[in-house]
Structure 1
Amino acid sequence: MSKLISKWNYPTTVRFGAGRIKELPDVLAATGIKQPLFVTDPGLAKLPVVASTLKILDDAKVPYGVFSEVKPNPVDSNLTAGIAVFKKGKHDGVIAFGGGFHGRTFMGMALTGKVVPYKVGFGAMPADVFHVPFPIDLHGVTSEQSLAALKKLFAADVDPQRVAAIIIEPVQGEGGFYPAPASLMKALRELCDQHGILLIADEVQTGFARTGKMFAMDHHAVAPDLVTMAKSLAGGFPLAAVTGRAEIMD
């Protein structure tokens, strides 16, 4: 059990309940002796977690959702909803941001805006995934420059009418813990509405009060069409979810 914990640091990297940090070592010691800490099968082990999670999501007024195991499953599920269902296969382009991280499946790696260490040695990535710079003042990139790059992308590389979704982390995690400016989120919402593009918020790292509100998008005056969540969603259990507007999730 000690080897498992040292190799897979889930208990110390995700939110483990509110104010329960002092009890964590005792809980880990007890569960390590009696049963595995991570249970993915049978699913019955997750039912209490799912039930309490549903209550939280309901209180947060999240409309529709579907559960899966861990990231990057929710990211892939979001794109399935956006491309195969909502867009009926007619729009297959996806736009992500440099420095972003969206998982380790091939689609997740394609969306991730970093070559090293995630994409090295894996060959060709899925096509029709485009990246624009993420605004970071420290690196001299403003929201205006990011939006200009997006408009240039529409003019030079992909017709916006062929884009199914724009995916963004409200706060980049692997990219250096940089929050997306409110002006960028507002402009993205307007662009997505203008061109019929889905706005996806990847809240796997930021969801469930890790930014002071239930979701990082709650700090913004606009709402995404789809949201991915995991990690703190289940406090250490391998559980993820995709939520979104009813007409998409149906």
Structure 2
Amino acid sequence: MLKVDLNADMGESFGAYQIGSDQALAQYISSANVACGFHAADPNVMAKTVDLLVKEEVAIGAHPGLNDLIGFGRRPMSITPTEAKNDVLYQLGALSAFAKAKGKTLHHVKPHGALYNMAAQDAELAMAIAEAVASFDANLVFLGLSGSEMLKAAKACGLKVASEVFADRAYTDEGLLVNRKLPGAMIEDPDDAINRVIQMIKEGTVISINGNVIPIEADSICIHGDGPNAETFAKQIHQRLIAEGIQIVSLQNLI
């Protein structure tokens, strides 16, 4: 039987500002990437999010980002490998404390936003992030863009890796994500998005934004929780995977 992880970014609220549909999504996913206070979240949000994931039996992962709360971590920034390594370590430690307080440990790490996209192409930055993860806990799974420099670096550091695909994002011919600001970057039609996911899992390919068939590995599917129809889409993709005979499991049970 085919297996896949279903993940979502969570805990991205801050103070009085509510972002995402964490409560609604938790019932449909197997892994969650929790913001660690740099691009989003605060101690209270992190604690609340961990409580929810423990209750719903969802695997807890860290989602470290750039130190850019105003820009939600989506703006590229000039950052040295040493700064990246220390920033990631800092964030892992913060989230791990909340998990430990509930008798749990972190399962995986997935960089956020601009840090994710930068490290997908920048080998030196990717290595700095991977080294931070490996030095913190060598048992963590590194979740990153399929075929990216991140996964190459993580493998070189001896980490287990999982290739991530996006249900609602378009891909370039090189297998990278199309910039959100460009036309066609987001897959708006839910049926189209789900059909693309099934193709990625079963055939190991996806149609690029230019109409070309490109190879892709799909260990984990990311669904975004900050859209207006996030809950409905999560339910639809969850049901479709089951209907296709694809088992939904956490990364630790997959990799």
TM range (shorter): 0.3 to 0.5
Q: TM-score, structure 2 length as denominator?
A: 0.36
Q: Which structure has the greater CA radius of gyration?
A: 1
TM-score (norm 1): 0.37
